[in-house]
Structure 1
């Protein structure tokens, strides 16, 4: 038999497997749920449920000696979108509420507040926060400092009290000038969702064949290991890209996340990452013979490392050295970096090229391990 006929026969078998797998995906509602319903649900939960921005924080404002200046500053605080202000003349009125967690901080204007301002001295403003939640405590302190600086600028104190040689700091924030954490979290959420969905799709495919008893008929066909794997990968790869389309549309039109990079680069980068996620799922399917075990292993291998070691929620640089070393082998880490760059910064080759090469290497290794562990017999 000639090489051309062998090649033609191989492609016919691969095409038949792809058609068979596509029909099985279309007829199986669980695959549609995993590819379309699950990403939309998870993205809405992550996008609306998780935020690092604190708005309408409940604080107590203590004015020990009411003056026109303290009243102006109190109005300035109340007019911001960050604070829900309650006033009193003694900090004792808020101690119990602070201990009970009903308020996040207490702002105290000292009795000589107006006198210090007149002298050009440092104003007596004390901020007491609930340190049991360090993130909120830091936000309250930063918001008070920002409100104070804004109020100073409005009253002209910044100009009248400026000293020769004093530094005038003007902050500019690139890529996310509104400082909305959602613009950072939504691309990270997409990476986590795609990692979980990609691993789940292929992990459940082969285990479903074992559970339904159809694997015997499949293994009896004259197909090779490579043909078997390609036939399983291609339909789920297209299904994964459809899930990515759902996530991108939601990010652009629901969460108002800018896409500053190229859509084609985003599709190509996602395709490389999907090959990694699907290869992980196929590798799991070579071990798990039931859908329950396959789904649990996919969660353990794909979802949890992506959640903790991708940089999506937790800063990797602040982790101990062993955990930082472990994060190197987490594919979601590189996809998070790439997605955040494409969405917020643009087509930055110095970020995208290394991430893409690492993901290609991971995909090749995982596919080779899967081909080696795939057994075309029932024992």
Structure 2
């Protein structure tokens, strides 16, 4: 066993910083005995809407459900195409397929790992019903360029990993979740704004879409037991909402701590002379990256990961098999080699430990260990 360990994300350290506030919030809910939706969820929805500067926010059971609800609200169905990326979490594409529509994959950029705008342009067809770009690892896509190449096409942002991320366009700050007709967030525990269980949210520009999502999350009911359409059961519970209300107050501080940690990693990789083997992630000059993950490209990735694990350092691979090569999507007819950047990232990418409380000493240990691997 190694003498010390470093997790990829330390939830316990983060909890200690807000424990008193969290316990007060939980006690408030327990005293109320109101656990499903209700005033806590409504308050959280209003606070997220205010934080983002949008009109409508709808809490739901998970980020995966948020994506599904968004596409349901747009009547995505059989015969429709939705353009997205194969280098992302499974739910981005499964929500399309579950509705009978066709995921149309587009490769990603080699430096930001985000969807290629040129790829989107080339993938447009008469059947394109929506574009589902992913703000991957906490960095926004080129929102203004997507709108330019696909005017009139509905955009649904997968902002599951990017709450608090910002892109500057013509001097204007655009927050993740505010440029598409709809946007989806995840509050999985390890996210920058994480619950202590599952949780998600859809934000909407129009009241019409928002009202429909409010219905769809409760079995399509406008009033209790009165079902206007067939929806799903996807409600954010009050305990998670109360926890998230506390954590939202600290989000900007934690995101800034992540940025500082990422900057330290960048410096250490350069100072230790690792650029020959390790390529750090690139933050687009127009972006305010929130570093949900700090993902490098590296040589002999799998051997390096095992070496680090033996030393007690936990790393993660996002994502080992791109979606177009997953067994369940074989019916789409994609072949190996069609999306070379995504495929190379699946073989080379490695997420180093990243969380607000990581110390400079721990980061130096990580980079020194990587250097030891390549120089041995």
User: Which bin holds the TM-score, normalised by the shorter protein?
Assistant: under 0.3
Greater RCO structure (CA 8 Å; 6+ sep): 2
TM-score for both structures, normalised by structure 2: 0.24
TM (norm. structure 1) is: 0.24
More strand as a share of residues? 2
